[in-house]
Amino acid sequence: MELRLKAIRRGWWFAVAGGVLLVLAGYPLWRGEQRSVTALEPQELVQSVVATATVQAQHRANVGVQMAGTVVAVTVVEGDRVRPGQSLLRLDDREVRATAAAAELAVKQAELKWQSWSEVQAPMAHEAQRQSQANLIQARAQLDRQQDLFQRGFIGQSALDESLRAFRVAEAQASSTHAQDRAHAPGGLEQALARSAWLVAQSNLAAARARQSYAEVLSSFAGQVVSRNVEPGDTVQPGKTLLVLAPDGVTELVAQIDERNLSLLRVGQPAVASADAYPQQHFAAVVSRIAPGVDAQRGAVQVKMTVESPPAYLRQDMTISVEIEVLRKPAAMTLPLEAVHDIESAHPWVWLLDEQDQVQRTPIILGVRAGSRVEVTSGLTAGARVLDAAAPGLKAGQRIRAAPAR
């Protein structure tokens, strides 16, 4: 009897323990697993395109020389600020200075020739013409007298012939001096020759002085030296870039953006930028130009952004990170990307928690993606509770205990 009583008691304790274990084991099935859930609520959605850009002036000037020569001085280095008219480099100018000096002497000679024409040659030609006219008048009068005497028989034929010869010589001299007087008169040939000689000398002097000016390269604007590819002693030729200057003015950010984003880009879109060297300091930019063509090798399109108020630390060719805002929706229904299953497929879906705290597989239609969130355009209503992370092993109808989203 005593053994039997002990056995009954032992069986009762085993039954109680087993019941407790069954209750503990069945508790999750009755109560449900705890999962992180997010509620679908309207919120602002900003879609952006992120890219790397470089700082550039709106245009750059490649500076070279206009004549061959040897560099004797370079007065700027990379990063220097330059002002209009500032000397950048100089060439050996001994030959061009000599040429300019010779041209100046030629101008002085032409001026003296002009002075000689106006003060000496023109007056002398005019006076010679007057004398020849007087001689011609005298010769004509003498011929008339001799002809009268010959007709009256007072002189012979030889005397008359001598008077006729003298008249013809005087006539020829008068014609010659008259032509010279016309040539030396104002507006005549000699004046035109003197003036043309002076103009040629002036042109040669201007060309010599221009060539002399080529020996020194000056900045034509205010800006900054971007690069320098010349040193004193170098022999340089026209057409070679020796210095690159960036003029002051509009500062631009130039980015190569994947062509897949081309449909999202528009002129006028705002952007936020920061230099890699100063990541905590942000500044604003605006998309100003989008290249009409695509770089086939890189599969990218060039986008330029204007910086209205560039920070002082910006440098040419500095690396910049930019985030271009391409879309803003003030009240979009969004979910975390990880809450959407088969997001890349044509039929994405989520686990929806219904009023009985049971999960249901629900198909949805997606819209815009922005960062870590995606817009839901159809399939869910505001306030819907969705599991905000992957949930392997879940089955439709399974009961879930909602935990606040982390």
Write down the pTM of the prediction: 0.55
Same domain, 141 and 155: yes
Total structural domains within the chain? 4
Same domain, 385 and 281: no
Yes or no: say if 253 and 318 are a contact pair by the CB < 8 Å rule.
Answer: no
Please give the average per-residue pLDDT across 235-244, as a whole number. Answer: 94
Domain that holds residue 39: 32-45+330-404
Q: Is there a domain that residue 2 lies in?
A: no
According to DSSP H, which parts of 85-221 are helical? 94-116, 122-151, 157-184, 189-213
Nearest to 143 by CA among 162, 157, 130, 156: 162
Same domain, 99 and 208: yes
Per-residue pLDDT at 80 exceeds 80: yes
- Please list the residues that pair with 285 across neighbouring strands: 271
Nearest to 337 by CA among 365, 370, 378: 370
| pLDDT value, residue 174 | 81
Q: Is there a domain that residue 171 lies in?
A: yes
> What CATH number did the domain enclosing 264 receive?
2.40.30.170
Same domain, 324 and 334: no
> What CATH number did the domain enclosing 350 receive?
2.40.420.20
| pLDDT value, residue 228 | 94
Same domain, 222 and 81: yes
CA–CA distances in Å: residue 354 to residues 25, 31, 37, 54, 81: 25, 15, 12, 51, 68
| pLDDT value, residue 225 | 92
Same domain, 76 and 186: no
> What CATH number did the domain enclosing 78 receive?
2.40.50.100
Integer Cα distance of 301 and 48 in angstroms: 16
Please give the average per-residue pLDDT across 201-214, as a whole number. Answer: 91
Residue where a domain terminates, one of 193, 213, 233: 213
Integer Cα distance of 224 and 76 in angstroms: 10
Yes or no: say if 320 and 310 are a contact pair by the CB < 8 Å rule.
Answer: no
Please state at what angle helix 157-184 crosses helix 189-213, rounded to 10 degrees: 30
Same domain, 315 and 361: no
User: Burial letters for 224-252: b for 16+ Cβ neighbours within 10 Å, e otherwise?
Assistant: bbbbbebeeebebeeeeebbbbbbeeebb
Same domain, 257 and 240: no
Cα first-last separation, the chain: 62
Max avg pLDDT among 31-35, 69-73, 156-160, 400-404: 69-73
Q: Is pLDDT larger for residue 177 or for residue 209?
A: 209
Mean pLDDT of the chain: 84
Same domain, 134 and 121: yes
Same domain, 219 and 126: no
Same domain, 324 and 346: no
Tens digits of residue pLDDT in 11-61? 444 444 444 443 444 444 434 577 888 888 888 888 888 999 999 887 888
Residue where a domain terminates, one of 286, 303, 329: 329
Tens digits of residue pLDDT in 272-295? 999 988 999 999 999 999 999 999
| pLDDT value, residue 404 | 58
Place of tokens 């879906």: 349
Nearest to 389 by CA among 401, 377, 406, 371: 406
